[in-house]
Amino acid sequence: MQYFDIIGGSRLKGSVEISGSKNAALPIIAASILCDGETILRNVPDLADVRQMLTLLLRLGVKSHRDADGALHLRVEDEMNVHAEYELVSKMRASVCVMGPLLAKRRRAQVSMPGGCAIGDRPIDLHILGLQTLGADFELANGDVLLKAKKLKAAEIFLGGPFGSSVTATANVMMAATLAEGRTIIASAACEPEVTDLANFLIACGARITGHGTPEITVEGVDRLKGTEHRVIADRIEAGTFMMAAAITNGDLDLVGARMDHMRAVVDRLRRVGIIVERGEKGITVSSSRRLEPVTITTQPYPGFPTDLQAQAMALLCLADGNSIITEKIYPDRFLHVGELNRMGAQLHKEGPTVIISGVKRLVGAPVMASDLRASAALILAGLIAKGTTRVQRAYHIDRGYESIEEKLQKVGANIRRQNES
Ligand code: EPZ
């Protein structure tokens, strides 16, 4: 097992290349199941989760390779297997994104229920509801979702759940609807930029989609989709994580490739904290050289403040000059980082889905345990400013969603080392 050792105190300065979006790439890779011919994807980050999805697709008859420029080439070679097995799905929940494409293209899908994870229950009832409404027969057997349909028929689907819209349920239903007969309307659809990027990819393959990026998406079914070339958008969550790294170290970073139009809620909150965030030539520049003001943050579906930056914002607000409040409306249990930050001297008090953050003068380095992808990022941010050494264990969590994070941080002055447990 690997861990990170971070010695706090360096102000980060310089430029960081923002990688392609994990949460755009994963459903787009799954969408290649729908396509005849070759699909070529650029700016796909080299992450554990991406490699996991490619392993699943290989089992499903989709061959892939990276060319010398790093572009990912995918081609369907065999359509026999439709089973996404538990040993793969349990490792990565986004595997459920193969459900819609398998059902639409191969008329059958057998996908293991993903089960819960560190950030909470991860139901897929909305995915199933949407696909059933398109005409699929559904059965649950031995923990697998079994779906089949001779031909999917367009429908009007309300996809809203108790926590608002669902990103990957919208992705699954939209992908399935591209080959369904007729006009499908998806109401209460997710508006995340990653859903919009998926829609743009599908349109380039010949799908007829409008309304993507709004809560109502319309899909006119077509007979077939043809593989195309597509460049994946930049990762707004990685960009937001580095924004907070600049803020917490009173640093000055240029985030190359970051898109201001995808980050308005995050930029709004950071500006209220007192961080200077400006549109740069090639992305976004972030600088801070003063005390941090306390703020209130509530996570919401896009365009609200993203739940995937909640833990990172909490680490930053540990050092604000007063009391901040964070309320988590998407995953009310997504707080495993609270105990670990308190071990570093933070003053965090959790009341249900809300955490009150009393600002402290400093954090102190300590051995801490990463529990999930974004909590690990929060602990690394805290380590960048803590006095002394912070050891973030279980580095594999961070490798799921950040491409060479320690190299990117070292390049702008952070004292961080990846170590192997002896
Ligand atoms: C996507 O997960 C992201 N993952 C998550 O990022 C992100 O946290 C989440 O959206 C919310 O923005 C990918 O895109 C691969 P949801 P997803 O369905 O689609 C409930 C990361 O760190 N819900 O939008 O699984 C659900 O429990 C990961 O990169 C249902 O009730 O999330 C949650 O409370 C973590 N029924 C809320 O909706 C369903 O059928 C939003 O979940 C589906 C979801």
| 30-82: pLDDT as tens digits | 999 999 999 999 999 999 999 999 999 999 999 999 999 999 999 999 999 99
pLDDT at 212: 98
**CA 166 to ligand 1 center in whole angstroms:** 6
pLDDT at 322: 97
Q: Please compute the mean of the pLDDT values over residues 223-232 and round it to a whole number.
A: 98
pLDDT at 194: 99
Sheet of 137-141: strands edge to edge?
A: 83-84, 108-112, 144-148, 137-141
Nearest Cα to Cα of residue 250 among 404, 104, 384: 384
Convert 84-110 to b/e letters by CB count within 10 Å (16 or more is b). bebebbeebbbbbbbbbbbbbbbbbbb
Nearest Cα to Cα of residue 31 among 316, 275, 225: 225
For residue 353 and ligand 1, the question of a CB distance below 6 A is answered with no
What does residue 190 show for φ and ψ, rounded to 5 degrees?
A: -70, 145
**CA 144 to ligand 1 center in whole angstroms:** 19
**CA 420 to ligand 1 center in whole angstroms:** 32
Q: Please compute the mean of the pLDDT values over residues 128-151 and round it to a whole number.
A: 97
Q: Please compute the mean of the pLDDT values over residues 143-163 and round it to a whole number.
A: 97
Best mutation site among 113, 122, 147 for ligand 1 pocket (most ligand atoms within 8 Å of CB): 122
Contacts of 215 (CB under 8 A, 6+ apart): 165, 187, 188, 189, 191
* pLDDT tens-place string over residues 85-138: 999 999 999 999 999 999 999 999 999 998 778 898 889 999 999 999 999 999
User: Residue 117 catalytic?
Assistant: yes
**CA 14 to ligand 1 center in whole angstroms:** 33
Q: Please compute the mean of the pLDDT values over residues 178-184 and round it to a whole number.
A: 98
pLDDT at 326: 98
The mean predicted confidence, pLDDT, of the chain is: 97
Residue 142 has pLDDT above 90, yes or no: yes
For the chain, domains (ranges, CATH) are 2-19+234-420 (3.65.10.10), 22-231 (3.65.10.10)
Q: Ligand 1: which atom is nearest the Cα of residue 23?
A: 14
Q: Is residue 343 exposed (0-12), middle (13-18) or buried (19+ Cβ within 10 Å)?
A: middle
* pLDDT tens-place string over residues 264-318: 999 999 999 999 999 988 999 999 977 899 999 999 999 999 999 999 999 999 9
Q: Which residues pair with 17 in a beta bridge?
A: 256
Best mutation site among 23, 47, 262 for ligand 1 pocket (most ligand atoms within 8 Å of CB): 23
* pLDDT tens-place string over residues 374-384: 999 999 999 99
Sheet of 323-327: strands edge to edge?
A: 296-298, 323-327, 354-358, 347-351
For residue 168 and ligand 1, the question of a CB distance below 6 A is answered with yes
Q: Please compute the mean of the pLDDT values over residues 157-182 and round it to a whole number.
A: 98
